[in-house]
Amino acid sequence: MPTPAKPTPEHRPVDRRNFFRKTTAAAALSLSASAYGHVSGANDRVRVAFLGCGGRAQAHINLIAKLAETGAVAPVAVCDVWDGLEEEYDQRHGNAVIRRKFAQGLYPSAAKCGLNPADRTRVAKDYRKILDLKDVDAVCISTPDHWHARMTLDSLAAGKDVYVEKPMTRTADEAVAVMDAAARLNRVVTVGVQSLADPVWKAAHDFLRTGKLGTVSHLSAGAFRSDVRGQWRFYRLAAEMTPRAVDWDLFLGHRFDVGGEPLGPVAVRVRVLRRAVHRPVRPPRYPPAVRDAPAVPRPGDGGRRAVRGTRRPGRAGRGHHRRGLRRVSPRRHRRDDLRGPAR
């Protein structure tokens, strides 16, 4: 006899113990029918802002742009620390060459959303400017992992509902902070675990619950991205990614924290010699007689010291000198050997 289905999470009170028991790495506070009624603009349009406009965000932007044709949603703002780049490039897959389009970053994403790139209130590098907009109902966070918790907490505090990519947070403390803020502020937080939203998994779950498969005693799962480009996605590095185009301090997030823990390391400026960057340092060229001749020890010191400060042959008048052992011709060296040790 099949076991009756348990109550879904949206019908159970969310507490910290249940959160840790059911969600170890990521969590989602489901959007129920009653919760949807509390979404600002739910009876008209859901106005979405995108925090982070990299490769993952482009899929979200394309989906929202398609849904915008129905009038249900509308993209109203974008944010990214990089100005962005839009171009075409060739990508090799074995012997095949594929022509690809690349459009990521702040300004290409603004154009894709139909926004004016010159509008600094809706197209910004600082996400806090986007959260100040009163007409933003929900935000889509697709930034690097270390920014997920901070942006989610600030978005909830600004009265926005949140869709955040996995992982929701980096640590358990950050996850508890997000869960507590969502419950306290009565906002919606959904984590982008797309595979769990696929109807095929629900169908498989329902089939297992019927008992037709029998007793399941072992489950085995794995993940492998079989791609000639590597295990994970291919992220391009472009020459346009310069300090002028990227707000590196804001990307690192060392001025922001969650529970007293900074998001990232402090930026360190490294001074690089221009000569070392633009051209290699070539070794000095010596005449063969100077290069191959042995050093002459100073007389009377037992060979422990050598003559210093002697100008190199052929370098007279240029101010070059060798701070080391004096080099002489092999003929002069043989003549010194015949003289014997100094008295």
pLDDT at 79: 98
Residue 80 tokens, joined: 């990214």
In this prediction, residue 114 carries a pLDDT of 95
Q: What is the structure's pLDDT at 284? A: 59
Quick one: CA dihedral 4, 20, 127, 264, positive or negative?
negative
pLDDT confidence of residue 194: 74
The amino acid at residue 336 is: D
Q: Which domains does the chain have, with CATH numbers?
A: 9-215 (3.40.50.720), 287-343 (no CATH)
pLDDT, one tens digit per residue, over 188-219 is: 999 988 777 788 888 988 998 898 888 888 88
| Burial (0-12, 13-18, 19+ Cβ within 10 Å), 160 | buried
Please report the pLDDT score of residue 221 as a whole number. 77
Of 119, 170, 132, 131, the residue nearest 50 (C-alpha): 131
- Of 133, 155, 144, 132, the C-alpha closest to 81 is 144
What gap in Å lies between CA 260 and CA 276, rounded to an integer? 40
Segments in the chain below pLDDT 70:
1-43, 223-234, 267, 269-343
Spatial CA neighbour of 126 closest among 91, 60, 85, 78: 78
Query: Omega before 330 cis (within 30°)?
Result: no
CA dihedral 196, 202, 206, 212 (to 10 degrees): -80
